């Protein structure tokens, strides 16, 4: 692959694949285009693209060349400390093998490849190129490789931005739908009481008017929360589950209800947003199960494995359960839809779901012991970005 005569051909191929990358619509398509171009651009038959998975803290194989798929056994996964590919990803530096194999402690001496390039793709993953030919990659190949990796990374960033834009547009449509649907009723009620007050001259309708306007105000606050903050996590810190629940309980009018914390554990999240989650779940319990409800909060059983990074520091989830009548919906997931929760606006649980999803977690609704409602939040171990553990 070295030599001046080969450079224009490699650059022409690079230009062609860049055009295909820019036309690709999805992450999967971009990865496929990238690996398919490896033999064309580098005259190397083996290659693969690994994307970073923040849930498992590992680089997972997403696409590979036809030759690699046909001849290599098994799927390689890169984790902290087990490969030069992970080192290149973490350091953000290109590696050329065997030149950059170091002391050999992380390089497979039994590898069938005599030459390899490991190209980090920012915080998105790595692209590996390999051949059985010795000394296959020279200085000019490295220049082409860096351009190639930059183009792949740029295409992946564009795909992510376009996806985010589609999500934002969907949220806008949802917001408009909620506004038009949920605000129409209290507006109609307020208008009716105002007309009665005008016709009769009596002020006994003003209290009902004030209630309708108060409901509208609460709806607007919740709608704005969904539209502006539902998917936003400003910062994450380590929080005690018991202290978080007790603080949220103090913020809610719980009447004669009782809070019981069944143990505690560290939660890694945005304090203000998680307070909102607990407050809305507590309000929902009081409104739905009655003023004497008992609400239980506690950690789920840990499902950690030894392969998780910093797994001992964080829980896999927590629950909020009550001893009320339970969830009447045939499909428990329907309680997160607009209008299902009974917090006064019908949006409380929808907001809970958005905040949980913003953390990269999952939430489910079901039946607790004694027929009450139980909400489980799972996924505290997921970092926000690679290597973020604090």
Do 260 and 363 reside in the same domain of the chain?
A: yes
Do 55 and 140 reside in the same domain of the chain?
A: yes
Report CA 127 to chain centroid distance, whole Å: 23
Do 390 and 245 reside in the same domain of the chain?
A: yes
- Choose between 369 and 61: higher pLDDT: 61
Mean pLDDT for 130-134 is 91
- The pLDDT, as a whole number, for residue 310 is 38
Do 142 and 285 reside in the same domain of the chain?
A: no
- Choose between 66 and 234: higher pLDDT: 66
Q: What is the pLDDT of residues 81-100, one digit of tens each?
A: 878 899 999 999 999 988 76
In the chain, pLDDT over 70 holds for what percent of residues? 73
Strand order in the sheet with 115-120: 77-78, 58-64, 46-53, 125-131, 115-120, 95-97
- The pLDDT, as a whole number, for residue 120 is 95
CATH of the domain at 283: 3.30.565.10
Q: What is the pLDDT of residues 171-223, one digit of tens each?
A: 667 666 656 555 665 677 777 778 887 888 777 777 777 777 776 776 676 66
Q: Does 114 reside within a domain?
A: yes
CATH of the domain at 11: 3.30.450.40
Contacts of 155 (CB under 8 A, 6+ apart): 21, 22, 24, 30, 34
Do 239 and 149 reside in the same domain of the chain?
A: no
Q: Residue 356 pLDDT more than 70?
A: yes
Do 382 and 283 reside in the same domain of the chain?
A: yes
Which pairing describes strands 373-378 and 115-120: parallel, antiparallel, or unpaired?
unpaired
Q: Does 170 reside within a domain?
A: no
Q: Residue 140 pLDDT more than 70?
A: yes
How many structural domains is the chain composed of? 2
Residue 116's pLDDT band (cuts 50, 70, 90): very high
Q: If you average pLDDT over every residue of the chain, what do you get?
A: 78
Range from 8-12, 20-24, 118-122, 178-182 that averages highest in pLDDT: 118-122
Do 247 and 390 reside in the same domain of the chain?
A: yes
Q: Does 62 reside within a domain?
A: yes
Do 248 and 145 reside in the same domain of the chain?
A: no
Q: Which of 142, 160, 178 is the last residue of a domain?
A: 160
Do 370 and 258 reside in the same domain of the chain?
A: yes
Pick the range with the lowest mean pLDDT from 111-120, 176-185, 256-265. 176-185
Question: At which residue do the structure tokens 């009548």 appear?
Answer: 325
Q: Residue 102 pLDDT more than 50?
A: yes
Q: Does 103 reside within a domain?
A: yes
Peptide bond into 175 cis (omega under 30): no
Q: Does 155 reside within a domain?
A: yes
Burial (CB < 10 A; 0-12, 13-18, 19+), residue 322, is: buried
Helices 184-200, 206-224: inter-axial angle, 10-degree rounding? 160
For residues 254 and 294, the answer to whether their CB atoms sit within 8 Å is no
Do 126 and 269 reside in the same domain of the chain?
A: no
- The pLDDT, as a whole number, for residue 191 is 76
* DSSP code at position 312: G
Q: What is the largest CA-CA distance in the chain?
A: 96
- The pLDDT, as a whole number, for residue 164 is 78
For residue 8, which phi and psi values (nearest 5 degrees)? -60, -40
Q: Does 99 reside within a domain?
A: yes
Q: Which of 160, 187, 207 is the last residue of a domain?
A: 160
Q: What is the pLDDT of residues 296-352, one digit of tens each?
A: 999 986 433 323 333 333 446 899 999 888 876 565 667 777 555 444 445 678 878
- The pTM assigned to this predicted structure is 0.52
d(CA 281, CA 343): 9
For residues 221 and 279, the answer to whether their CB atoms sit within 8 Å is no
Q: Does 211 reside within a domain?
A: no
- Choose between 223 and 155: higher pLDDT: 155
Q: Does 278 reside within a domain?
A: yes
d(CA 190, CA 194): 6
d(CA 322, CA 335): 15
- The pLDDT, as a whole number, for residue 219 is 63
Pick the range with the lowest mean pLDDT from 25-39, 125-139, 162-176, 222-236. 222-236
Continuous H helices in the chain: 6-23, 27-36, 38-42, 66-71, 84-91, 139-182, 184-200, 206-224, 241-250, 271-289, 348-358
- The pLDDT, as a whole number, for residue 5 is 47
Residue 119's pLDDT band (cuts 50, 70, 90): very high
DSSP string, 270-287: -HHHHHHHHHHHHHHHHH
- Host domain of residue 85: 6-160
Q: Which of 160, 181, 213 is the last residue of a domain?
A: 160
Determine if residue 339 is left, alpha or beta; phi over 0 gives left, psi from -120 to 50 gives alpha, anything else beta: left
């Amino acid at each position: 692959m070295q030599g001046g005569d080969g450079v224009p051909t490699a650059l022409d191929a690079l230009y062609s694949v860049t055009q295909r990358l820019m036309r690709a619509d999805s992450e999967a398509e971009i990865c496929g285009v990238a690996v398919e171009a490896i033999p064309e651009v580098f005259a190397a038959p083996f290659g693969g693209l690994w994307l970073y998975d923040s849930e498992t803290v590992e680089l997972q194989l997403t696409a590979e060349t036809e030759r690699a798929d046909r001849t290599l056994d098994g799927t390689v996964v890169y984790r902290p400390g087990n490969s030069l590919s992970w080192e290149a990803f973490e350091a953000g530096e290109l590696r050329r093998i065997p030149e950059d194999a170091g002391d050999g402690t992380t390089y497979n001496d039994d590898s069938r490849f005599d030459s390899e390039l490991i190209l980090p793709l920012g915080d998105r993953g790595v692209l590996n190129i390999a051949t059985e030919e010795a000394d296959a990659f020279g200085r000019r190949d490295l220049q082409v490789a860096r351009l190639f990796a930059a183009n792949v990374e740029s295409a992946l960033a564009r795909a992510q931005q376009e996806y985010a834009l589609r999500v934002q547009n969907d949220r806008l449509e949802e917001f408009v739908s909620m506004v038009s649907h949920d605000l129409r009723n209290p507006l109609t009620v307020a208008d009716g009481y105002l007309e009665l007050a005008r016709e009769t001259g009596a002020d006994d309708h003003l209290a009902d008017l004030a209630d309708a306007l108060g409901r509208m105000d609460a709806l607007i606050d919740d709608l704005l929360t969904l539209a502006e903050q539902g998917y936003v996590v400003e910062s994450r810190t380590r929080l005690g589950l018991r202290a978080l629940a007790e603080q949220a309980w103090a913020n809610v009018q719980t009447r004669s209800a009782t809070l019981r914390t069944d143990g505690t554990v560290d939660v890694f999240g945005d304090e203000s947003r998680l307070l909102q989650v607990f407050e809305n779940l507590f309000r929902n319990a009081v409104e739905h199960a009655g003023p004497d409800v008992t609400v239980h909060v506690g950690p789920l059983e840990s499902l950690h494995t030894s392969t998780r990074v910093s797994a001992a520091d964080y829980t896999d989830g927590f629950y909020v359960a009550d001893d009320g009548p339970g969830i009447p919906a045939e499909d428990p997931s329907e309680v997160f839809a607009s209008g299902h929760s009974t917090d006064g606006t019908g949006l409380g649980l929808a907001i809970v779901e958005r905040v949980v999803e913003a953390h990269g977690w999952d939430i489910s609704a079901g039946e607790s012991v004694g027929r009450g409602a139980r909400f489980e939040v799972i996924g505290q171990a997921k970092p926000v970005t690679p290597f973020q553990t604090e």
